[in-house]
Structure formats: C-alpha cells, structure tokens
Amino acid sequence: MSGLPPTVAWSDDGRAVRIVDQRRLPAELAFLDLRTVDEVVNAIRTLAVRGAPAIGVAGAMGLAVALREREAGFAAHFEAAATAIARARPTAVNLPWAIARMRAAVASRLGEPASALRLLHDEAERIRAEDEAMCLAIGTHGLALLRDGMTLLTHCNAGALATAGIGTALAPVHLAARRGWRLHVYADETRPLLQGARLTMWELLHAGVQATLITDNMAAATLRDRGIEAVLVGADRICANGDVVNKVGTYGVALAAHAHGVPVYVLAPSSTVDPATARGADVHIEQRDGAEVTMPLGAAAAPAGAQAYNPAFDWTPARLVSAIVTDRGVHRPPYDFSRGVVATSST
C-alpha cells in the first residue's frame, strides 16, 4: 500500500490484533489493538475493520488472541468466542470461512489449552499470510485485463484497506502503479458510509494513482461520458452460479455498465466463492441502522423521524459480470462454482 502500514497485523508484543481504524479515515490514520472477543466483534460490526478478506483475517487473529488467559474451561470459552466472532456480520463468507478453519485447527486439542493456543496462532498467521499472497495473485491475474492509460470505475473500497495485502479489485491498480502505468480511476463515493470517498480516494492518492471522486448517482453518466473502459469491484460472496454479492450499489453500476458495453470485472479471493449458495437471491443481506442514511457521519440529512431502508449489500446477476478474477486465475462465463474454484487461464 505504498509505504502505508498493514490494515490487519499482530501488535508488537503479539498479544493483540492491530487494525487501522477505518472509521477515522481520511482525517486521521489511527490504530486499534483488539484483545478481547467483545473488542473484535465491535470492531467488525462498527466497520473499524471492513472488507470481506480483512474481517476474515481479523476474526481469525482476534480469536487467537482473545483466548489467552482462558485455560480454565477453555473448550467452552473457545466455542462461545468462535460463535460470536463468526456471527459479527452475516453476509460476507470470509468471516465464517476463517473461523471454520480455526475450529478445524484445534478440533482435537481443545482439552490441551497451551497446545490449542499455539495452533490457533499458527492457523491465524497462515490465514493472514495466505490473504497477502492471494491479493498479489489476484492483482497479477487482473493486470492481464488492463493496459497503460486506461480509465476505470470502482465502487466502495476493495483495496489494501479491505485486506491484509494490496487489495482485491484495486490490486491490479496498485501493481500497475508500481510499473509506472498511468491509470485514471473514477471512484463512487459509496453512500451512506462513503467508503469510496473516505477510503478508496485516500488509498489511491497515497499510491500516486490519478483518481476522481464522483457521487453514486453520477455513475451511469460517467460510464457514458468519461471514457470508462472497465469497472473493477470486489465481492463479499460469489455464489455457485456466478451471482456476486457486494456493497449495495454494485448492481446499479453493473446495469449501467452493461447498457454502455463496459466490462465489469469482479476481483476476489477464492475463499469468497460459496459453492453451497446457489444464487444471489438465496443470500441473507445484512440490514443496517437507518440512521446511517438519515444521519450520515453524524450530520442530519433528513427530517427527524424519517425512516430509511439500509441494506449493506446487493447482488448482481452473473449475466452482468464479464469476468471473475480470483487468486486461481480469470474465470469467464458461463460460471459454475458448484464444486468450488479450479485453476483457470489468466489471459
């Protein structure tokens, strides 16, 4: 992330998970050290850490550190902690996926707390390191879809701030910047929490990428009028048929891109693919507090008493997705992830 600190890491003493507090950006680069289950759950729910890969990594690492000093009744504490963290946010598949890996790592050692703690730490570190490597692989495969001088559009934040590495949707942009390519990225502000404005713009400007902020309702006109050549978005869940669940607003962007003949590329780790969920309509979409809409960032934007509908995500039909890029390669339609992800061509 061009010299910026990692989004999710171990604290210096290894006894906490250190995260960039994304609620404080762009005004301030601040950090939180998470040591307890409640702190981990709260950080995930309040979006101090967000992005499907990042919350999976933070959840796994948080589970490892939160069980220190819990040797008495360790198995019961482990089960309660794993359940609470896995349920912190319901839509992104990476969080329960990571916790399931942690469960499997210690399934036979819950009666040996000291051994279990070592195994938990080691598994969490593997998940973190794998995410970093997956981001690089996604970026490398995705770079084959781009060229120097392109103009792109992105929605929400699927960059380094959403992962333990260089990002998913923005990973090829970061690699392109390292090569000296001159890309121009239009970033949707991403209402109501402004992840595009607060996070994507902050990240791209720090990386030296030319970036222009637009409001969400400008996306269709921008696709028509500003020479957009591709849309890059991340994913919180990819269904067996290729339907993509991502930040609310992605569906509208995909519809507009389709209408103007602009390809939509979804970039996400293979752990985001959920072969057990047949289609987007089957996914439970997280509903968030309406105050995020009526009082964005604490400022009144609607009359007192106004009610608001506030889904955190929407799902985009596979027919609108030109390619899905994972760490295994570039996947093209027709999509069939019913047996998971298999390696495929990167061209």
Closest CA to 74 of 31, 110, 43: 110
Q: CA-CA distance, 284 to 19, in Å (whole number)?
A: 27
Q: What is the DSSP annotation of 118-182? A: HHHHHHHHHHHHHHHHHHHHHHHHHHTT--TT-EEEE-S--BGGGSSSSBSTTHHHHHHHHHT--
Q: Active-site residue among 188, 216, 236, 314?
A: 236
Neighbours of 268 (CB within 10 A): 28
Chain-centre distance for alpha carbon 317: 19
Angstrom CA distances, 172 to 2, 177, 196, stand at 14, 8, 17
Chain-centre distance for alpha carbon 186: 19
**Residue 188 catalytic?**
no
Q: In this structure, are residues 8 and 54 in contact, taking their beta carbons and an 8 Å threshold?
A: yes
Which run of H or of E encompasses 250? helix 250-259
Angstrom CA distances, 237 to 3, 17, 92, 185, 293, stand at 29, 24, 6, 24, 24
Close Cβ partners of 68 (under 8 Å, ≥ 6 residues apart): 15, 117
Q: Catalytic amino acids?
A: 236
